Amino acid sequence: MFGDYSLSDLGAIFAMQGFAGLILFSVFLLMALGLAIIFGQMGVINMAHGEFMILGAYVTWLTSNFFQAHLPALFGGYFFVAMVLAFFASGALGMLVEWGLIRHLYKRPLDTLLATWGLSLILQQCYRSIFGAREVGVDLPQWMLGSFQVTDAIQIPINGVFVMVLTILITCAVAYILYWSRWGRQVRAVVQNRVMAGAVGINTEKVDRYTFALGCGVAGVAGSAFTMIGSTGPTSGQLYIVDTFLVVVFGGAASLLGTIASAFTISQAQSTLEFFLSGSMAKVITLLAIVGILMLRPQGLFALKVRK
């Protein structure tokens, strides 16, 4: 399959596809971060995760429209406002869902899966009724358009770089919150031993609620970043949900490092294969490889050694 390309062409192809893969990696990682918090830490299957992401995307779209209409001078900076709004909108919805739905189901993970699937159907229909069935896209501010010309054959779009930088920052923030902050220690304590954590004075219900809200909030930010590179429709979230779950499971559910590594592997494999095969076959081969590896090594790449 390499025969038709010269060596320098191949280099450029790998660089460009590698970069496309890095953007896919950012999307996977941003979505998977939220899931890694919710599924990895709390053990809750949230099939509506994609819809939380899309909520963030719609909030970003609304903000960009608002800035365009009322504050055109500040349009260059709308994205940062939108990101914060998206975080809080998705987080608030997440908190509501935890209170109304998830907290009744902590002992029945398979039922959570069905209930959140129902929730995702409802949210999709709400988006369709409110925003219309057509996909919407945001206008990028001037400074995000264009691309860096690295060599003759290699071009790197600025919005992609921006999304990647954002991903790295958010990942660091999540890692800090979970592993170094006082609140993150409480979360991990509750996950490891709920009864003991309660006995030493941690309010476990409150921790659950805020953990779920944080996961959903991160999904909202992911949606916000997603608008930079693609358009948003009511069902866009569902396209990614299976991939994202595979990313989290493949990485080893409770490991942040594993999530990063598996998001990287999967996105790079897929985008490199995509150039040489058709898009659907690339996806089939990638997914098959993941499922195959998971059958041989069900605990994922980076498994915590925990005595059960």
Nearest residue (CB) to another protein, 174 versus 247: 247
Nearest residue (CB) to another protein, 106 versus 148: 106
Residue from 9, 10, 43, 206 in contact with another protein (CB under 8 A): 43
Nearest residue (CB) to another protein, 197 versus 248: 248
By the rule CB under 8 A, 249 interacts with another protein: yes
By the rule CB under 8 A, 280 interacts with another protein: yes
HEC sequence for the chain: CCCCCCHHHHHHHHHHHHHHHHHHHHHHHHHHHHHHHHHHHHCCCCCCHHHHHHHHHHHHHHHHHHHHHHCHHHHHHHHHHHHHHHHHHHHHHHHHHHHHCHHHCCCCHHHHHHHHHHHHHHHHHHHHHHHCCCCECCCCCHHHCCEEECCCCCEEEHHHHHHHHHHHHHHHHHHHHHHCCHHHHHHHHHHHCHHHHHHCCCCHHHHHHHHHHHHHHHHHHHHHHHHHHCCECCCHHHHHHHHHHHHHHHHCCCCHHHHHHHHHHHHHHHHHHHHHCCHHHHHHHHHHHHHHHHHHCCCCCCCCCCCC
Residue from 121, 156, 161, 269 in contact with another protein (CB under 8 A): 121
By the rule CB under 8 A, 304 interacts with another protein: no
By the rule CB under 8 A, 288 interacts with another protein: yes
Residue from 4, 295, 305, 306 in contact with another protein (CB under 8 A): 295
**Stretch in the footprint of another protein (CB under 8 A) among 74-82, 124-132, 163-171, 176-184:** 124-132
Positions touching another protein (CB under 8 A) are 43, 45, 101, 104-105, 107-115, 117-122, 124-125, 128-129, 242, 245-246, 249, 278, 280-281, 283-284, 287-288, 290-291, 294-296, 298
